[in-house]
């Protein structure tokens, strides 16, 4: 009986110590009726010494306008690490196969600038388009999402074909 009580006391003590070390439960308490964000977002939001993206375009959107069918359209999104830790982009992914991102593979140190090059293949894609590029990194997003999202949009036009059927 003494061994069982000693074991239970030890387990209770260890549980208390482990739970007390969790910074999220010690810092974040949702208000009544609030839906808490994902745990990953909370873990990033607790750390004040994080890396942080600051894109030149705050909307993170580039509009190509009307572009001709054929060549690959390209845009460079520039950003700066305005955080305290090095910014590390671990992955870049596009919403479809016609779009491809290139991102820095080395850490972007605090105060340094970086570039994400987004290429869109126009061949075979006549008409309006809106595409996304997702960046996974160690920088928290303002909305608690697990990745940053960049957007490109425009309209691919085939200059060889009339766009208005009445102009034939």
Domain spans in the chain, listed from the N-terminal domain onward: 2-45, 49-157
CA atoms within 13 A on the CB side of 155: 8
Q: Which three-class secondary structure string do you get for 71-116?
A: CEEEEEEEEEECCCCCECEEEEEECCCCEEEECCCCCECCCCEEEE
Query: Across the beta sheet with 53-55, what order do the strands follow?
Result: 53-55, 72-81, 113-121, 99-102
Q: Is 67 exposed, middle or buried (0-12, 13-18, 19+ CB in 10 A)?
A: middle
Q: What is the mean pLDDT of residues 101-109?
A: 95
- Dump pLDDT digits (tens) for 72-88: 999 999 999 999 999 99
Residue 77: count of CB within 10 angstroms of its CB: 24
pLDDT score at 55: 86
pLDDT score at 112: 95
Question: CATH for 49-157?
Answer: 2.60.40.10
pLDDT score at 156: 96
pLDDT score at 21: 43
How far is the C-alpha of 40 from the C-alpha of 94, rounded, in Å?
Answer: 22
Task: Tell me if residue 23 falls in helix, strand or coil.
Answer: helix
- Dump pLDDT digits (tens) for 115-142: 999 999 999 999 999 999 999 999 888 7
Residue 121: count of CB within 10 angstroms of its CB: 16
More confident residue, 97 or 22: 97
Go through 144-153 and write b for each residue having 16 or more CB atoms within 10 A of its CB, e for each that does not. eeebbebbbe
- Dump pLDDT digits (tens) for 57-70: 878 999 999 999 99
């Amino acid at each position: 009986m003494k061994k069982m009580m000693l074991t239970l006391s030890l387990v209770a003590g260890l549980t208390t110590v482990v739970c007390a070390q969790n910074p999220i439960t010690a810092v974040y308490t949702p208000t009544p009726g609030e839906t808490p964000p994902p745990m990953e977002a909370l873990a990033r939001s607790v750390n004040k010494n994080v890396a942080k993206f600051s894109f030149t375009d705050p909307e993170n959107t580039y509009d190509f306008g009307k572009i001709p069918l054929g060549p690959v359209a390209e845009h460079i999104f520039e950003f700066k690490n305005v955080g305290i830790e090095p910014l590390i982009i671990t992955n870049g992914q596009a919403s479809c196969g016609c779009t491809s991102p290139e991102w820095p593979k080395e850490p972007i140190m605090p105060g340094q600038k970086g570039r994400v090059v987004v290429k869109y293949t126009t061949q075979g894609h006549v008409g309006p388009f809106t595409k996304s590029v997702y960046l996974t990194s160690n920088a928290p997003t303002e909305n608690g999402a697990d990745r940053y999202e960049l957007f490109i949009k425009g309209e691919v036009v085939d200059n060889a074909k009339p766009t208005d059927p009445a102009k034939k």
